[in-house]
Structure formats: C-alpha cells, structure tokens
Amino acid sequence: MSIRLRLTLMSFMQFFVWGAWLITIGTYCFNAKGWTGAQFGAIFSTLALSSLFMPALAGIIADKWLNAEKLYGILHILYGMILFYVPSVNNPDTLYYVIFGAMICYMPTISLSNSIAYNILKNNSYDVVKVFPPIRVWGTIGFIVAMWITNLTGSKANSNQFLIAGAGAIILGLYSFSLPACPPQKTIAKDASIIEQLGLTAFKLFANYKMALFFIFSMFLGAALQLTNMYGDSYLDDFKNSPQYIDSFVIKYSTIIMSISQISETVFILTIPFFLKRFGIKKVMLFSMLAWVLRFGLFSYGNPADGLWMIILSCIVYGMAFDFFNISGSLFIETKTDSKIRSSAQGLFMMMTNGVGAFLGSKISGYLIDKYYVLPDGFKNWHGIWLTFSVYALVISILFSILFKHKHDPKALLQVQH
C-alpha cells in the first residue's frame, strides 16, 4: 500500500469516528433520553473544554517523549473504549464526564493526524502543499460516510452510533501502529518556560488593539460554529411531531440531509483562493458571518414540505459559513504576526474559536432554549431558536464591519502562497 493511500485511510477514519455521533448526539439526548437543553449543552461543551488544553499537551508529549503515531494510536484506542461505555450511561451528569473523557482523547488527534501526515510526506520527499489537501478531503468524506451509516442503520436516536464510532476508533488506533515512525523532534528548548511550552506567548497579541479585536470576534463567532451540529439533526427529527410531515424524507433521513453541509465544505474550500484574491481577508470573513445569518435564518423558516428548499440551501450555505471564517482567519494570523510566535498565535485563534467561543455557545444556548423556547407541551420552538441565533450572527456581522479595520493587501497573500 502506497504512503498516500495509507495516509488517506488514516484521514478517512480520523473523521469517520467523529461523524458517526457528533451530528446525532443531540437527537439521542433530546429525543431518546428526554434531557434538557442545559444538560445537553453541558455535554456538548466538553468538545470545547478539551480543546483548551489537550492539543497543546499532546503536542508537547509528541515533541519530547513519544512517537506521534504511537501517541495517536493510544489516544484512539482509549477514545473507542470510552465510547463503548456510553450505551450503559442513563444519567446526563454521568454522560458529561464520559463524553469529556472521550473528547480528551479525541480532540488532540486532529492536530496529531496533520503532524503525522506532514512528517511522513516530507520524509518520503512528497510536495506537502500539493499532496496533503487531497488526502485531507477524504477526512470530510469519512465524516459524511459515517453520518450516512448512522442514519441508514437506524442509529441516529439510539446508542448504536457510539458503538459504530468506538469500533472504528479502535481499528484506527491499531492501524496507526503500522504507520512509518514519527519520532519526537525535540523542537521545544529544554530551558523553555511552561508558558512557551504551552504556546501561550501569543497572548501578548492582546496588547495590540486590532489583534485583540480579531480574537474577540473570533470568540463571538466561535460561539455559533457548533450550534447547527448541536441542534440541527434534532430540529429536523422533531418535525415528526407534526402530522403533515410524519412520512417526510427529511425526517427519515435527517442525518443524510445534514451531511449536505459537509459536502458543501469540500466545494467551498476550492473557492477560497478566488474570494481572497478578489475581496481580501476582511470581506471574506464578513461573507462568512453573513452566511451564518442565512444558515440560521433559513432553518428558522424551513420545513420538510414547501420549505424544503430553505433547509437544503441552509446546508449549502454552511460550507461558506464554516470554511471562509476558519481559513481566512488563519491566513490573517499568518500575515499579521511575527514568525517567532506564529504557531502560538494559530493555537490562540483555535482556542478562542473552538475552545472559549464554542464552550460559551454550548452552555448559553442550552440555557436560553430551556428558559425561553420550550413550549408548555414540552416541544421546542425551533423557529424562535434559529431566529435568535440568526439575529445574533447579524449583530456580530454589523459590529465586525464597523469596528474591524483592515486593508486588503494582495501581496501579503501572495507571500503566504509562496
């Protein structure tokens, strides 16, 4: 088996073992277990909490002590074993700690998988810039395939979704031990402070008004990034409570409908170079924020019958909403920070979006739904929920366009590309 094929298989499984349950855990917690928004919000927030510290710690271990592919394998095996325990959990408080444990094992493997791929490709004299993107696209395909399997096997509202992911994770963990060795690079100086080791030196960027504003908006938008992953499948599944939609394709195959969002990602990624060159980083980020307005707003007014086009369009818009912000934000860091702290700055960007922002979004959204959007009959006012999220994204968009000053510099982008 060629190196490229082996890494493609790793990328496919890396996101397969997440996609099997990430989109449908809301349906499981709300519809199968009957838990509250606050309880589910707390459970989902473990993704963000683990992102705050585990990728950095795993990076230190791989840099100093243990082969990256071995650490990667150990973490996936542990992740799979924890997921196998999920079906026996019937208490939301217990599930919080179980999913937290699973996320502590899984979240650092995302960055480790990239590091392993880069290392192996470079050691085998491949052009990383040319070869890696097609390999990474198979990760998104793996996520989509897992969603389809979960839906088509009738597992979206039961615990089988975790068994599918757990089995895949253990297989991936064992497979990773067969990959070429990626020994510690020992890139961290022995006398480096704990602040430097954890990549926290970039926090001094908050002293710069423009950078501070960028990170604050990253946090605010980060609060919105996982909301449709949290509630999207449950929202579509809840249409079964309306007699006119009971036999709808959308209800039976809600997870497949949601997978259009991931398919859209693979398309919009290819359009980013054009948009960046034509409009610049600030406008592309603003396009992303406005796309979130549409993402939530279309969900608010959509339905499985005459409003199906809104649901489909919302899923298509997701690609722009998610990718444009993440990639243009990463390029902004690349062009506006000193090379000595660039990696730390990228880590800080991820911390503010997928860590602090996503944590606040998970917790606060769960509280708001319980407080204002649960109807007397126990059903949720999904129209009000999505409309509130849409207004939030619109406010962020307006404030960003007014407060964030950035001049488009095509030369800076050209330097990054080369």
Q: Which residue has the higher pLDDT, 173 or 34?
A: 173
Q: Are 244 and 35 within 8 A, CB to CB?
A: no
Last residue of a domain, one of 181, 211, 245: 181
* Torsion angle (degrees, nearest 10) of CA 296, 301, 307, 312: 0
- Domain with 406, as residue range(s), is 199-418
Q: How many domains does the chain have?
A: 2
The reply to whether 11 and 109 lie within a common domain is yes
Residues 418 and 357 in one domain: yes
Q: What CATH number is attached to the domain comprising 377? A: 1.20.1250.20
Q: Which residues in 369-389 are b (16+ Cβ under 10 Å) and which e? A: bbeebeeeeeebebeebbbbb
Alpha carbon separation from 250 to 230, 270, 380, 385 (Å, rounded): 17, 28, 18, 19
Q: Are residues 217 and 94 in the same domain?
A: no
pLDDT (0 to 100) of residue 119: 82
Same domain, 96 and 205: no
Question: What are 19's two structure tokens?
Answer: 């996609």
Residue 210 CB-half CA count within 13 A: 8
* In-domain check, residue 86: yes
Q: How much is the pLDDT for 31?
A: 79
| pLDDT at residue 307, as a whole number | 93
Do 245 and 118 lie in a common domain? no
Residue 188 lies in a domain: no
Least confident of 2-6, 172-176, 230-234, 302-306: 230-234
Q: Give CA–CA dist 24/246, Å, rounded.
A: 19
Q: What is the mean pLDDT of the chain?
A: 85
Same domain, 272 and 169: no
State yes or no: pLDDT of 364 exceeds 80.
yes
Q: Say whether both 257 and 399 belong to one domain.
A: yes
227 shares its domain with 352: yes
pLDDT: is 341 or 393 the higher one? 393
pLDDT, residue 74, reads 95
Say which residue, 189 or 392, is predicted with more confidence.
392
Q: What is the pLDDT of residues 82-106, one digit of tens each?
A: 999 999 999 999 999 999 999 999 9
Does the pLDDT value for residue 185 go beyond 70?
no
Q: Are 219 and 134 within one domain?
A: no
In terms of domains, do 293 and 348 share one?
yes
Q: Residue 415's pLDDT band (boundaries 50, 70, 90)? A: very low
pLDDT number for residue 411:
57
pLDDT at residue 240, rounded to an integer: 87
Residue 390: is its pLDDT beyond 90? yes
Whether 210 and 158 share a structural domain: no
Angle at 57 between CA 54 and CA 63, to 5 degrees: 135
Q: How much is the pLDDT for 414?
A: 46
192 — phi, psi (to 5°)?
-65, 140
Q: Is residue 167 part of a domain?
A: yes
pLDDT of residue 134: 83
Same domain, 287 and 170: no
Residue 190 resides in a domain: no
Domain boundary among 150, 181, 212: 181
Q: What are residue 374's DSSP bridge partners? A: 380
Positions of E strands within 162-308 = none
Average pLDDT over residues 359-386: 90
Q: Greater confidence, 194 or 272?
A: 272
pLDDT of 418 reads 42
State the average pLDDT over residues 293-310.
Answer: 95
The tokens 């064992």 sit on which residue? 174
Q: How confident is the model at residue 293 (pLDDT cuts 50, 70, 90)?
A: very high
pLDDT digits (tens, 9 = 90+) for 43-93: 988 988 888 877 767 777 776 788 888 999 999 999 999 999 999 999 999
- Given a contact cutoff of 8 angstroms between Cβ atoms, the answer to whether 141 and 12 are in contact is yes
- Residue 416, pLDDT > 60, answer no
- Rounded mean pLDDT, 133-150: 89
Given a cut of 80, whether residue 155 has pLDDT beyond it is yes
Domain membership of residue 48 (yes or no) is: yes
pLDDT digits (tens, 9 = 90+) for 313-357: 999 999 899 888 887 787 787 777 776 666 567 667 777 888 888
Can you tell me which residue has the tokens 């928004």? 37
